[in-house]
């Protein structure tokens, strides 16, 4: 274990990546962490392609040196060390180099990838997710992908309540008040004014609203599944629990999925080509589990923060150390997310520059 090397593609101020890097180092592993192949200006690579195949010539990714690659989040490589006049061209060259390498992940690093880049990109497609869910028998609410206001009104008439989901989150700022607004999920009902032009201009996802007992957050880490139910101590369930996860009223409890649903989730992950994923489910009022979506690189350590007995940090560490989907949680030293939150490494990460909220557009 001590000789394991793990590569983490993530922003260097990502708290999840920081926790995993800290845990891996507690287990004696080498960690290479950055948002692109250009981890630092001194990094050098060569890939040789000949009649025998494609071979990495650099020590970083030479065969057998890397146990696993966590492909959490990548950005265009930094080229700020070259002269300003050449920066755009050099950045584009590095970006193309990265894309070429990520297109042949196992030639770059013959290791377990979490997740393989091409499968990770495909998993961002919500229609493909629902196709895979249907194939393995997971139930999900009827869903429309549409820019037709007449259809949207028909859906509201038929279902009463409809959840509007954007394909990507959107942030905008009011020029007059300087207030920042966000949208990713909204509830539509008979009192909602549907603007034909706005709907036609901007396609979105429209899903039948499910009256639910509680939400279920599932972390699939290799062959192991960890599930927690999310509900409120008082009052009705949240339409979307994510903005409220730190509220005092939120209750998170361990939950065991029915064996048949766990089997469907395993088959769903294989269909998607994913080694890890974070799935949102709901339990409806009839006791049926309904699939909503999978985020192939979602947040998950907040569950351990709420439920310290659920060893998510240790499980992810063992998965990366062994480079095997059939790992055991005990393949690494016992580590706790709470200990990381008290560490000097976390304090240093909190002091690092954070990404500003990206303002996508402005309103008058």
pTM to 2 decimal places: 0.91
- Residue 361: per-residue pLDDT: 40
pLDDT at residue 237 in the model: 87
Predicted local confidence at residue 2, as pLDDT: 46
Taking 50 as the pLDDT cut, the residues of the chain under it are 1-2, 356-364
User: How far lies 245's CA from each of 42, 44, 92, in Å?
Assistant: 41, 42, 39
Q: Tell me what pLDDT residue 94 has.
A: 93
Average pLDDT, the chain: 91
Per-residue confidence (pLDDT) for residue 354, from 0 to 100? 61
pLDDT at 356: 45
What is d(CA 320, CA 22) in angstroms, rounded to the nearest whole number? Answer: 13
pLDDT at 3: 66
């Amino acid at each position: 274990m001590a000789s394991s090397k793990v590569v983490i593609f993530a922003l260097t101020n990502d708290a999840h990546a920081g926790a995993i890097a800290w845990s891996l180092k507690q287990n004696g592993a080498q960690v290479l962490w950055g948002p692109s192949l250009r981890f630092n200006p001194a990094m050098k690579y060569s890939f040789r392609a000949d009649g025998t195949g494609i071979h990495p010539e650099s020590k970083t990714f030479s065969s057998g040196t890397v146990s696993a690659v966590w492909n959490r989040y990548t950005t265009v490589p930094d080229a700020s060390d070259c002269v300003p006049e050449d920066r755009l061209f050099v950045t584009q060259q590095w970006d193309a180099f990265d894309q070429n390498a990520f297109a042949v992940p196992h030639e770059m690093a013959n290791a377990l990838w979490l997740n393989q880049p091409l499968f990770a990109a495909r998993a961002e497609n919500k229609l493909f997710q629902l196709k895979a869910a249907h194939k393995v028998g997971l139930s999900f609410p009827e869903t429309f992908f549409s820019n037709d206001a007449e259809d949207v009104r028909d859906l509201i008439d038929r279902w009463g309540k409809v959840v509007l989901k954007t394909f990507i989150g959107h942030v905008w700022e009011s020029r007059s008040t300087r207030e920042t607004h966000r949208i990713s999920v909204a509830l539509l009902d008979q009192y909602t004014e549907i603007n034909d032009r706005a709907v036609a201009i901007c396609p979105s996802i429209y899903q039948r609203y499910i009256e639910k007992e509680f939400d279920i957050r599932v972390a699939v880490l290799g062959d192991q599944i960890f599930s927690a139910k999310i509900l409120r101590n008082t009052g009705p369930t949240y339409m979307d629990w994510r903005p409220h996860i730190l509220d005092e009223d939120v209750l998170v409890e361990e939950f065991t999925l029915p064996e048949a649903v766990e089997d469907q989730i395993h088959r769903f992950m294989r269909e998607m080509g994913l080694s890890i994923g974070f799935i949102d489910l709901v339990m409806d009022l009839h006791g049926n589990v309904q699939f909503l979506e999978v985020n192939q690189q979602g947040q998950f350590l907040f569950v351990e923060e709420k439920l310290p007995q659920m060893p998510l940090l240790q499980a992810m560490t063992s998965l990366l150390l062994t480079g095997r989907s059939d790992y055991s949680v005990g393949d690494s030293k016992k580590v706790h997310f709470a200990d990381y939150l008290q560490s000097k490494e976390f304090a240093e990460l909190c002091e690092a520059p954070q990404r500003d909220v990206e303002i996508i557009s402005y309103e008058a």
